[in-house]
Structure 1
Amino acid sequence: MNMAADKKVLIMAGGTGGHIFPALSIARQLQSLGVEVEWLGTLKGMESALIPQTGIPIHYISVSGLRGKSFLTKVLSPFVIVIAIVQAIGKILKTKPSCVLGMGGFVTGPGGVAAWLLRKPLLIHEQNAIAGFSNQLLYPMASVVMEGFAGAFNRKQEITKSSLLKHFYSGDKTVHTGNPLRQEILSCPSPAQRFSDSANTDRIKLLVLGGSRGALAINRLMPELLKDFPAAESIELWHQCGKQNLQTCKAYYAELGIEENQNCRIAAFIDDMAEAYCWADVVICRAGASTVAEIAAVGVPAVFIPFPFAVDDHQTANAIIMQKLGAAWLIQQQELSPERLGSVLMQFIEDKTLILKAALLAQQAAKTDATEQAAKYCMEACYA
């Protein structure tokens, strides 16, 4: 008899893939243990398209962020939040979960408050190196607080210099689990296996990631770099530019006389990221939590260009953790130029042994059992 068959976890996650995919990894792990899983999200987030395809029942509440919104929207926001909490209470009463897991996104705030009001065990997971606003508020309400990067809540307290936050973040309920990853990412061959032949090749394989929506600064930079880079013939490029930017990005390359061929591939989206990481010698990308965790787990050197408008500049904090290990290079967008990036790439071209050294250092930051750890804490909460 499966003792977990009568247990149910309600997962709250939404907005972007950075919240949804780690949550989905935990959902699959819980299902493999015989636990029933349901989802709480919003109709405006990616979850409304992704989760129904998985067969996981999903419920919706109405809530969105306030950044960049009109003054009237901000004035009305307390009423909107109260309505969202009431909606979340209704969904929790309907689904009757054994515990509630918050994985980030706008849904997590109202959903977490609703879980606390109903005295349901609440677990939260912070993916970034600096805790986000919703998780800051939910910290005192949660029974377990999981961190993708150790010290995420302490960093937030250091930024704000708040004695109140210091009081909130005290206690022993915080655990460093790492960020849950898709199984295919964890199945990549080791750096030693992948890079055994790299030192004997003429080219370095450069994977450029702008995120699913693309990053204009990175998309513009790469053709400019290749145009005048003295060692351009030493680079094999795979550039993911974002679905909405494909034609524009191709035009950038064409304007500078760079043709697409076997050594220069431009793609709107890469479906198999495990294949891409395994192929790459070096990755150029933003520094979102999931991306950093994937790069660490696979073991591949990275040049991080953090998104400059991220809340609390958390992408820079994510990147610094890898940089301090010697596994990554950090270039702020305002300092980005073909010359600056080219000087970093020349280090790999001139000394290909640096690729394996940095890859092995990257794996020191990896927490490859994050999914299992998160599921374990959910199971413990179910039986509490």
Structure 2
Amino acid sequence: MTTTDASGAGPTWAIIAGGGTAGHVLPGLAVGRELVRRGHDPASIHFVGAERGIEVRLVPEAGFGLTVLPGRGIERTVSLQNVVAVLGLVSALWKAIVLVRRRRPAVVLALGGFASAACAIAAVLWRVPLVVADQNARAGAANKLVARFAAASAVPFEETDLPKAVVTGNPVREEILAVGADRDRAGARAELGLPEDRTVVVAFAGSLGSRRLNTALYGAVERWADRDDLAVHHVIGSRDWEDRPDLARGAGLGDGAGEGGAAEGATGLVYQPVRYQDRMDLVLAAADLAVCRAGGTTVAELAVVGVPAVLVPLPIATRDHQTANAGPLVRAGAAVLVADDELDTDRLVAEVERLLGGGGGGLTAMGAAARSVGRPDAAAAVADLVERAASGERGGSGGR
């Protein structure tokens, strides 16, 4: 168990537990910052995550203390790795029990993942009030396990299947909320090196990326090579970055090619491949259309900013939750859904060109539809539940 107290030692008011992926960590950080805005000392809000997770970087950068637990998730197959994983989970549980006993928080917020489950179980054992927050339309296994003991479950959608559910929406980062409140499309494009006067398509699929999405997009870029009305910002991801084709290495597309490719005066398509993108606020502010997966955080951010999308759910997502996540945007007319096994260059080109063919008015209407289902107040709503649980209240208004 490793602890980093970025904000110094002191009494712990809340433990926010969960991690492994940005989808768990970012909503937790949004709630943590909302609690600080309400007057809670940052040093009194302590995060617990996984030693392999992205929280190792993101949480200290945000100014919160962090404890990381050993272990990893269990795969859905019989394997030696699962034996090692179970041993790790037992170790994580024991360390979480010690941690919660030592810190004696007023409340624990569980976001999902094995580190979250360990802290939630510890909270139950030590009679610490527990709030569960899920990011998806279909709850994860860890949250389903512990939610029966929670004072309340914060959920993004009515259909999320947890007990004591209160529909709060999925908390979104401050920088994304700022884009939704005052979108500076021209300024974001200038910072990214994208043209102000073109239609901008952005494509992304998390830090690792998606080979299926990348392959389809490479083909689309080749077909769009002569278009002088279009720019593509492509976040390839670390997994496929070294294997990217020549067109993503600055060759084959003339003035518009290359990482961070020049925008002004480019002839033909402006194509901008990047390995990773820390400034998703700029990407969403610059975008006219997104092509991406349908993780809970991604869907929430698209809705808050008002970005139309072609959503390609991850096919191996637990309980197909990404397809369920996409549902509200699709039903609102803010997105189109393409199954992963149906995505190729032909389908991607057809969907994008159909949406662009409607002119700016079509995309504008889709953006407005996205904002109609956005929940910019989600972090505040979850923080309300956390404060009520800490004060001894159970449940909350707005439930189903």
The TM-score range, normalised by the shorter chain, is 0.7 to 0.9
Query: CA distance change for structure 1 residues 269 and 72 in 2, over 3 Å: closer, same or farther?
Result: closer
Which amino acid is 1:348 matched to? Answer: L
Distance in 1 between residues matched to 2:46 and 2:224, nearest whole Å: 51
Which amino acid is 1:307 matched to? Answer: L
Q: Secondary structure at the match of 2:206?
A: coil
- Give the aligned partner of residue 222 of structure 1: 217
Distance in 2 between residues matched to 1:254 and 1:111, nearest whole Å: 45
Which amino acid is 1:299 matched to? Answer: G
Distance in 2 between residues matched to 1:246 and 1:76, nearest whole Å: 30
Range 39-48 or range 298-307, more displaced: 39-48
Distance in 1 between residues matched to 2:125 and 2:142, nearest whole Å: 16
- Give the aligned partner of residue 38 of structure 2: 33
Q: Secondary structure at the match of 1:113?
A: helix
After superposition, give the CA deviation of every residue in 1:180-210 in whole Å (9 maximum; x if it has no partner).
Answer: 1111111125699869xxxxx9742101112
- Give the aligned partner of residue 283 of structure 1: 290
Q: Does 1:268 align with 2:313?
A: no
Query: CA distance change for structure 1 residues 194 and 44 in 2, over 3 Å: closer, same or farther?
Result: closer
- Give the aligned partner of residue 239 of structure 1: 234
- Give the aligned partner of residue 209 of structure 1: 204
Q: CA deviation at 1:233?
A: 3.8
Alpha carbons 2:155, 2:165 under 8 Å: kept: yes
Distance in 1 between residues matched to 2:180 and 2:85, nearest whole Å: 48
Q: CA deviation at 1:132?
A: 0.6
Which amino acid is 1:179 matched to? Answer: N
- Scaled by the length of structure 2, what TM-score is found? 0.83
Query: CA distance change for structure 1 residues 227 and 6 in 2, over 3 Å: closer, same or farther?
Result: closer
- Give the aligned partner of residue 198 of structure 1: none
Distance in 2 between residues matched to 1:108 and 1:189, nearest whole Å: 30
Distance in 2 between residues matched to 1:78 and 1:294, nearest whole Å: 34
Which amino acid is 2:322 matched to? Answer: Q
> Equivalent of 1:183, from 150, 153, 174?
174
Q: CA deviation at 1:62?
A: 2.4
Q: Secondary structure at the match of 1:340?
A: helix
Range 304-313 or range 219-228, more displaced: 219-228
Q: Does 1:251 align with 2:250?
A: no
Alpha carbons 2:16, 2:46 under 8 Å: kept: yes
- Give the aligned partner of residue 383 of structure 1: 391
- Give the aligned partner of residue 160 of structure 2: 152
Aligned pairs, how many? 358
After superposition, give the CA deviation of every residue in 1:54-81 in whole Å (9 maximum; x if it has no partner).
Answer: 3322223323211167634435665544
Alpha carbons 1:303, 1:331 under 8 Å: kept: yes
Distance in 1 between residues matched to 2:28 and 2:197, nearest whole Å: 40
Following superposition of structure 1 onto structure 2, how do residues 261-340 of structure 1 map, counting pairs within 5 Å? 261=261, 262=263, 263-340=270-347
Which amino acid is 2:140 matched to? Answer: G
Q: What is the percentage of aligned positions where both structures have the same residue? A: 30
Query: CA distance change for structure 1 residues 349 and 291 in 2, over 3 Å: closer, same or farther?
Result: same
Q: CA deviation at 1:222?
A: 1.2
Q: Does 1:107 align with 2:137?
A: no
Which amino acid is 1:327 matched to? Answer: A
Query: CA distance change for structure 1 residues 83 and 272 in 2, over 3 Å: closer, same or farther?
Result: closer
Alpha carbons 1:207, 1:239 under 8 Å: kept: yes
Q: Secondary structure at the match of 1:205?
A: strand
Distance in 1 between residues matched to 2:90 and 2:293, nearest whole Å: 35
**Structure 2: gaps spanning 5 or more residues:** 1-9, 187-195, 264-269, 393-400
Q: CA deviation at 1:301?
A: 0.4
**Structure 1: gaps spanning 5 or more residues:** 155-168, 196-200
Q: CA deviation at 1:50?
A: 2.5
- Give the aligned partner of residue 192 of structure 2: none
Distance in 2 between residues matched to 1:230 and 1:34, nearest whole Å: 53
Distance in 2 between residues matched to 1:221 and 1:88, nearest whole Å: 43
Q: Secondary structure at the match of 1:246?
A: coil
Distance in 2 between residues matched to 1:26 and 1:140, nearest whole Å: 22
Distance in 2 between residues matched to 1:230 and 1:326, nearest whole Å: 29
Q: Does 1:358 align with 2:358?
A: no
Which amino acid is 1:222 matched to? Answer: L
> Equivalent of 1:90, from 87, 93, 98?
98
Alpha carbons 1:277, 1:298 under 8 Å: kept: yes
User: Is the helix fraction higher in 1 or 2?
Assistant: 1
Which amino acid is 1:277 matched to? Answer: L
Distance in 2 between residues matched to 1:105 and 1:304, nearest whole Å: 24
Distance in 1 between residues matched to 2:387 and 2:85, nearest whole Å: 35
Distance in 2 between residues matched to 1:255 and 1:70, nearest whole Å: 44
After superposition, give the CA deviation of every residue in 1:33-52 in whole Å (9 maximum; x if it has no partner).
Answer: 23220111221222223323
Distance in 2 between residues matched to 1:33 and 1:291, nearest whole Å: 26
After superposition, give the CA deviation of every residue in 1:112-162 in whole Å (9 maximum; x if it has no partner).
Answer: 1111111110000010111110111112111110102222107xxxxxxxx
Distance in 2 between residues matched to 1:299 and 1:43, nearest whole Å: 34
Distance in 2 between residues matched to 1:256 and 1:33, nearest whole Å: 51
